[in-house]
Amino acid sequence: MLFLEALRDDPLMRRIVAWEVSENTEQVKRLSEARSKALGLWLDRMRGSLMPPKGVDTAAVNALIFASIQHLVLSAAAGGQCAGMRAQARVFRQQ
């Protein structure tokens, strides 16, 4: 939920993420790679000694979760809803 909160609460972060998924320039590639590397290091620290269940591709699961959060927050910011869920839903609001 930290990523959701950071993205939801920071307009600049939302603009950067939208930029990353909408353009394919060298500058965007460098930015995206740096952010991906930092995220990977953070995930490694948070995981600690926990091991994923056998057969689970944790990188793929994490990518799906982060992509879902990005889409929810960007859609809510742009149009007030995502997949029929209005931005007033608890997930989009500050607690």
- pTM (whole model) above 0.95: no
Q: How many CA atoms lie within 13 A of 35 on its CB side?
A: 13
Residue 12 has pLDDT above 70, yes or no: yes
List alpha helices for the chain, DSSP H. 2-9, 11-22, 26-47, 58-79
- At 88 the pLDDT is 60
Length of the chain: 95
Confidence at 44, pLDDT banded by 50, 70, 90: confident
Mean pLDDT, to the nearest integer, of 26-44?
87
3-state SS class at 36: helix
Residue 87 has pLDDT above 70, yes or no: no
- Residue 86: what are its φ and ψ, rounded to 5°? -70, 150
Q: How many CB atoms lie within 10 A of CB 53?
A: 6
